[in-house]
Amino acid sequence: MKAIKCIVFGCLMMLFSCKEQPLEAQKTVVVSQASIEKIAPADLKTKIDLDTVQLIDVRTPKEYSKGHIANAQNINFYDADFLTQLSKLDKNKPVYLYCKSGGRSAKASKQLQNAGFSLIYDLKGGFVGWKSAGLPIKN
């Protein structure tokens, strides 16, 4: 008898839970359209005009001063106003990020994605990968 009650109760629950909710009770889920792509150092060098893109070095100023990719803007990931500085970038243009080896730039990419940026590229291997590929650096 207990088993029959459970079956009947389960069927009633399924029946009422499948009933369509009124339009105002339905929730809308917004999915970010932003993409984060990894880009190889050679592709960044040859396929992108480094003079005109939003190229961001998220390392510390001390790291940046020891060498960086030409025309990279230094926005320190550890600064208290990091997100404020990122918000000054154009959300509709691609943003290229790098750090020393990829950890900070991956976290920064997620923050840009959450802030509504549309195209985000993260340099594979970071600055270490850039130098290992024999690409030019600026001191």
- Between CA 123 and CA 47 the distance in angstroms is 13
CB 75 within 8 A of CB 86: yes
Q: Which of 6, 11, 18, 99 is catalytic?
A: 99
CB 120 within 8 A of CB 35: yes
CA distance readout (Å), 55 to 1, 10, 65, 109: 70, 57, 16, 12
Among 109, 131, 137, 130, which Cα is nearest to 43's?
A: 130
- Between CA 64 and CA 42 the distance in angstroms is 20
Is 119 exposed, middle or buried, given 0-12, 13-18 or 19+ CB atoms closer than 10 A?
Answer: middle
Six token digits for residue 118: 């549309």
99 is catalytic: yes
Active site residues: 99
